[in-house]
């Protein structure tokens, strides 16, 4: 009896985790354990992986437009920081955002030859209001996180500083405003939580590019469809950015000196 309860609770936990991380994975897992419950574990895992892949790569792209969303159109100039964002279906946006990404990537490439627009978390394919955790607002297809730009020996590069693109910060210097300390002193312990989400620090020989990141931000802000852009206050000052679309995201969120968040009207 205890073993059966434990097994049921484990299934519930797996369904919750897959739903939180991929939106559709929990549903596919549930179907697998219901219709193939008499199969052994290895066969069920194999069936789940096959069904998940078919649904994610062959079916979702055709279903999502009915919900007003589409996959980000990867190209030579637009790439995910990690294939995980594609695999977990966290790469869906409204068509208008795809249009903006295309324009930004082309303008950025003209200014910095060979530099790509690298995105992180965007949105799930279905349902306005469905949360894309751990984000507070990525729930309507209009929001996206993109990577900062880095350089080595004053030459901009497509390399990033962590596997996920999150969690390795370009923190405030001693002379700069330190929003991180202020938020954490107010009890917002989660403010620098992304430091636990790096999945590993890499490319330690590169550093934050003022020139490249400022160019990227200004290119984003030029797009009339963009309503807001979030970046940490010390980077806003360091890059001498004045645009009114740049907002502070609030201490209830997480720090934004490892990525840029922007959204449409």
Pairing of strands 70-71, 155-157: unpaired
Please determine, for residue 109, whether its predicted confidence score (pLDDT) is greater than 80.
yes
**Continuous segment of H or E residues that includes residue 230:** strand 226-230
Q: What mean pLDDT is predicted for residues 148-170?
A: 95
Q: Are 225 and 104 in contact (CB under 8 A)?
A: no
Cα–Cα distance measured from residue 28 to residue 84, given in angstroms and rounded to the nearest whole number: 18
Cα–Cα distance measured from residue 13 to residue 122, given in angstroms and rounded to the nearest whole number: 24
Query: For position 38, what pLDDT does the model report?
Result: 80
Query: For position 4, what pLDDT does the model report?
Result: 83
Question: Taking the alpha carbons of 153, 155, 158, 161 in that order, is the dihedral positive or negative?
Answer: positive
- In the CATH scheme, what architecture does the domain 70-264 have? 2-Layer Sandwich (3.30)
Q: What mean pLDDT is predicted for residues 225-233?
A: 97
Q: How many CB atoms lie within 10 A of CB 75?
A: 13
CA 134 to each of CA 83, 108, 121, 137, 138: distance values in angstroms, whole numbers, following the listed order: 18, 29, 10, 9, 9
Q: What mean pLDDT is predicted for residues 82-96?
A: 98
For the chain, what are the domain ranges? 2-65, 70-264
Q: What mean pLDDT is predicted for residues 81-107?
A: 97
Residue 37 — very low, low, confident or very high, per pLDDT cuts 50/70/90? Answer: confident
Cα–Cα distance measured from residue 149 to residue 153, given in angstroms and rounded to the nearest whole number: 14
Please determine, for residue 1, whether its predicted confidence score (pLDDT) is greater than 80.
no
Give the residue carrying structure tokens 């991180």.
180
Q: What mean pLDDT is predicted for residues 55-78?
A: 97
Query: For position 18, what pLDDT does the model report?
Result: 97
- pLDDT tens-digit series, residues 122-142: 999 999 999 999 998 999 999
Query: For position 187, what pLDDT does the model report?
Result: 95
Question: Taking the alpha carbons of 8, 12, 15, 17 in that order, is the dihedral positive or negative?
Answer: negative
Specify the DSSP class assigned to residue 252: T
DSSP for 58-115, written as a single string: IIHHHHGGGGT-EE----SSEEESSTHHHHTT--EE-HHHHHHHHHHHHHHHHHSTT-
Residue 6 — very low, low, confident or very high, per pLDDT cuts 50/70/90? Answer: confident
Query: For position 7, what pLDDT does the model report?
Result: 84
């Amino acid at each position: 009896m205890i073993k059966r309860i434990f097994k049921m609770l484990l299934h519930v936990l797996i369904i919750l985790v897959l739903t939180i991380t991929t939106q559709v994975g929990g549903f596919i897992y549930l179907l697998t354990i219901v219709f193939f419950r008499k199969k052994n574990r290895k066969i069920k895992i194999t069936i789940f992986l096959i069904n998940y892949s078919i649904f994610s790569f062959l079916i979702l792209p055709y279903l999502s437009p009915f919900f007003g969303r589409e996959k980000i159109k990867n190209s030579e100039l637009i790439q995910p920081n990690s294939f995980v964002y594609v695999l977990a279906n966290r790469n869906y946006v409204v068509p208008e955002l795809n249009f903006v990404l295309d324009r930004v990537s082309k303008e950025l490439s003209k200014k910095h030859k060979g530099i790509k627009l690298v995105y992180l978390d965007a949105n799930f394919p279905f349902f306005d209001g469905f949360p894309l955790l751990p984000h507070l607002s990525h729930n309507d297809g209009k929001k996206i996180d993109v990577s900062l730009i880095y350089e080595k020996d004053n030459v901009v590069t497509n390399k990033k500083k962590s596997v996920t693109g999150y969690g390795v910060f370009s923190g405030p210097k001693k002379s700069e405003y330190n929003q991180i300390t202020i938020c954490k002193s107010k009890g917002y312990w989660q403010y620098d939580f992304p430091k636990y989400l790096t999945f590993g620090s890499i490319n330690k020989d590169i550093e934050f590019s003022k020139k490249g990141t400022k160019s990227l931000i200004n290119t984003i802000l030029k797009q009339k469809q963009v309503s807001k852009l979030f970046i940490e206050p010390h980077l806003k000052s360091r890059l001498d950015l004045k645009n009114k679309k740049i907002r502070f995201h609030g201490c209830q969120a997480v720090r934004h000196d490892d990525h840029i968040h922007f959204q449409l009207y």
